[in-house]
C-alpha cells in the first residue's frame, strides 16, 4: 500500500500544512504530469516520494492472475510512495495520474534525511501515516460488513469529499473515472458496478455532467440510508425521526419514499432467505407506514392548488391486503394534480365496476402483490367489457405480481413497476391526444 491519501477536513489541512512546510523550505522539485502518466510501477525501486499539490493519482496493484485492486485516489495534500520507502522495499503498487497533476517530488535520500533532522516534518508525516492507517481500517470494515451497493455509496461519498466541488444540486466528483476504475475502488466486478450505478441513477442519487459524476449532498445520502435502516429494523420512531429529518434537510420527497421502499425490498430478501419471520415483516411495514404521512404532508404542502388534471380510481384487488405500494401510487398521483379516489385494500370486482360507474374516472388503477390476486385484474377488465365500460376508462395495473407480459395478456392499457413511473404513465394516458 503506497498511499496516505486524505479523507477528512482535518486530513486535508494536515496535507496543506505539509505542502506549506515543504514549499517554504524549498524542498524537492515541482513536477507536472498529464492524465495517464505513471509516477511509478509495481516492483520499481523507490526513487522519489511525491507530495500531491493538485490533481489526482490512483494507487493500485495488479495480482499475478492479472486482476487489479485499487487502494484509493490520492488528491491534494496526499503523499505517494511513502510506505515502500519507510519499509525499504520496492513499490508494491502502481501510481497512475488520472487528472492533470502537480507534485513535489522529494528524492528518497532527502526524504529520509528530513525524517531524521526535521522534527516538524517528521511529525506531519507521522500524522498523515496514522490517518492513512485509520482510513484503511475503515475500508476493511466496509469490505466485511457492507454489501456492494453500500460500499459503492461510501466510496462515492469519499471521492466527493476528497475530489468534489459543490454544485447547486449536489457534489461534482472532479475525476474522470471509468466503471472499471470505480469497480476496483469498491472491490467488485465491473458489470456489478455498472448495474448499481444505473440503479443509483434511476433512484436519483447521482447523474452525469459531462464526464463527471455528480452525487446528491452526502448528508442526504446518510439520511436516506438511515430511513432504509429504520424500515429494515422495524423501528417506527426512528422511521418518523429520519423522515422528518429528510424533509427538514430538503431531501426530495420521492427519494425519501424510494429509501423506504428499498428497506421493504431488503426485508423481503431477508424473509425469503429465512433470516427473519413474518412478525419482522409486519414491524417493517408499520415503520414504513408511519413515515409515509410525514413525507406526504410535505408533498401536500408544496403542491400548488391546481385544477385536477384527471380522475383516478385506485384499489388493491380482492384477496390482497398489501396496501403500502398502492398508498404511494395514490399519494404521488395526488401530488401530480390528479384527483384520486382510493378504494383501499381487498376491493372486489363489483366494487371496481360500481366506482367506475359512479366516479367516471379517466383511469382505473389496480394494485396486486400476489400471483393469486393478479388473476382478479383479469376479472375486473373482463367485467368492464361486459358492462360496456371498457372504452370509457384507461386501466393501469401494477404491484409486485404484475409484469408487462401479464398486462398484455389481460388487455390493460399500461403497467409500470414503480409509483413514480405509474404517475408518468397516468399523465401519458390522459394527456396524449
- In the complex, the smallest distance separating the C-beta of residue 302 from ligand B12, rounded to whole angstroms, is 20
Tell me which of 285, 309, 353, 383 binds ligand B12, using CB under 6 A: 285
Per CB under 6 A, the segment of 9-17, 18-26, 48-56, 362-370 that binds ligand B12 is 362-370
CA R_g for the chain: 28
Range 91-120, binding ligand B12 (CB under 6 A): none
Residues 6+ apart with CB under 8 A from 31: 102, 103, 104, 105
Q: How far apart are CA 255 and CA 227, in angstroms?
A: 10
Between CA 191 and CA 171 the distance in angstroms is 25
Residue the block writes with cell 509495481: 42
The secondary structure of residue 196, as a DSSP letter, is H
- H or E segment and range at residue 339: strand 339-342
Which parts of 322-341 interact with ligand B12 (CB under 6 A)? 322-326, 328-329
> Would you count residue 265 as binding ligand B12 (CB under 6 A)?
yes
- Mark the segment that binds ligand B12 (CB under 6 A) among 139-147, 188-196, 279-287, 293-301: 279-287
Select 186 or 267, whichever has its Cβ closest to ligand B12.
267
> In which order are the strands placed within the sheet that holds 339-342?
339-342, 311-316, 363-367, 394-398, 414-415
Q: Are 151 and 188 in contact (CB under 8 A)?
A: yes
Instruction: Considering only residues 373 through 412, tell me which ones interact with ligand B12, judged by CB under 6 A.
Output: 396-401
By C-beta, is 125 or 369 nearer to ligand B12?
369
**CB nearer to ligand B12: pick between 165 and 371:** 371
For ligand B12, the closer of residues 43 and 417 by Cβ is 417
The SS3 call for residue 433 is coil
SS3 assignment, position 320: coil
Cβ at position 139, least distance to ligand B12 in Å? 31
* Chain residues in the site for ligand B12 (CB under 6 A): 261, 264-265, 267-268, 272, 278, 281-282, 285, 319-326, 328-329, 365-367, 369-371, 396-401, 416-419, 422
Amino acid at each position: 500500500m503506497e498511499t496516505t491519501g486524505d479523507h477528512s477536513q482535518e486530513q486535508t489541512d494536515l496535507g496543506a500544512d505539509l505542502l506549506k512546510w515543504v514549499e517554504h523550505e524549498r524542498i524537492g522539485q515541482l513536477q507536472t504530469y498529464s492524465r495517464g502518466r505513471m509516477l511509478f510501477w509495481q516492483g520499481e525501486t523507490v526513487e522519489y516520494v511525491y507530495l500531491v499539490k493538485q490533481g489526482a493519482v490512483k494507487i493500485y496493484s495488479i495480482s499475478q492472475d492479472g486482476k487489479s485492486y485499487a487502494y484509493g485516489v490520492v488528491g491534494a495534500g496526499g503523499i505517494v510512495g511513502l510506505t515502500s520507502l519507510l519499509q525499504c522495499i520496492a513499490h508494491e503498487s502502481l501510481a497512475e495520474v488520472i487528472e492533470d497533476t502537480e507534485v513535489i517530488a522529494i528524492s528518497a535520500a532527502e526524504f529520509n534525511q528530513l525524517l531524521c533532522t526535521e522534527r516538524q516534518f517528521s511529525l506531519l508525516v507521522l500524522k498523515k501515516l496514522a490517518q492513512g492507517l485509520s482510513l484503511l481500517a475503515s475500508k476493511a470494515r466496509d469490505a466485511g460488513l457492507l454489501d456492494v451497493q453500500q460500499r459503492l455509496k461510501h466510496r462515492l461519498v469519499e471521492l466527493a469529499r476528497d475530489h468534489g466541488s459543490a454544485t447547486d444540486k449536489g457534489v461534482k466528483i472532479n475525476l474522470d473515472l471509468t466503471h472499471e476504475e470505480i469497480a476496483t475502488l469498491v472491490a467488485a466486478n465491473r458489470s456489478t458496478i455498472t448495474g448499481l450505478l444505473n440503479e443509483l441513477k434511476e433512484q436519483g442519487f447521482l447523474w452525469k455532467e459531462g464526464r463527471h459524476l455528480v452525487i446528491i449532498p452526502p448528508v442526504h445520502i446518510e439520511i436516506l440510508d438511515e430511513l432504509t435502516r429504520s424500515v429494515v429494523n422495524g423501528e417506527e420512531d426512528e422511521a418518523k425521526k429520519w423522515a422528518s429529518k429528510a424533509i427538514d434537510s430538503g431531501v426530495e420527497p420521492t427519494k425519501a419514499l424510494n429509501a423506504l421502499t428499498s428497506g421493504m425490498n431488503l426485508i423481503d430478501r431477508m424473509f425469503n432467505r429465512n433470516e427473519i419471520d413474518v412478525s419482522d415483516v409486519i414491524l417493517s411495514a408499520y415503520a414504513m407506514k408511519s413515515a409515509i404521512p410525514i413525507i406526504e404532508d410535505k408533498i401536500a404542502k408544496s403542491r400548488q392548488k391546481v385544477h385536477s388534471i384527471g380522475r383516478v380510481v385506485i384499489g388493491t384487488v380482492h384477496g390482497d391486503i398489501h396496501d403500502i405500494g398502492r398508498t404511494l401510487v395514490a399519494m404521488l398521483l395526488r401530488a401530480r394534480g390528479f384527483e384520486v379516489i382510493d378504494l383501499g385494500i381487498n376491493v372486489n370486482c363489483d366494487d371496481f365496476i360500481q366506482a367506475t360507474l359512479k366516479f367516471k374516472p379517466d383511469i382505473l388503477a389496480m394494485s396486486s402483490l400476489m400471483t393469486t390476486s393478479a388473476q382478479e385484474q383479469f376479472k375486473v377488465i373482463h367485467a368492464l367489457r361486459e358492462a360496456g365500460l371498457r372504452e370509457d376508462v384507461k386501466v393501469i395495473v401494477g404491484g409486485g405480481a404484475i409484469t408487462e407480459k401479464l398486462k398484455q395478456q389481460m388487455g390493460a392499457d399500461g403497467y409500470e413497476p414503480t409509483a413514480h413511473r405509474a404517475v408518468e404513465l397516468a399523465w401519458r394516458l390522459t394527456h396524449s391526444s
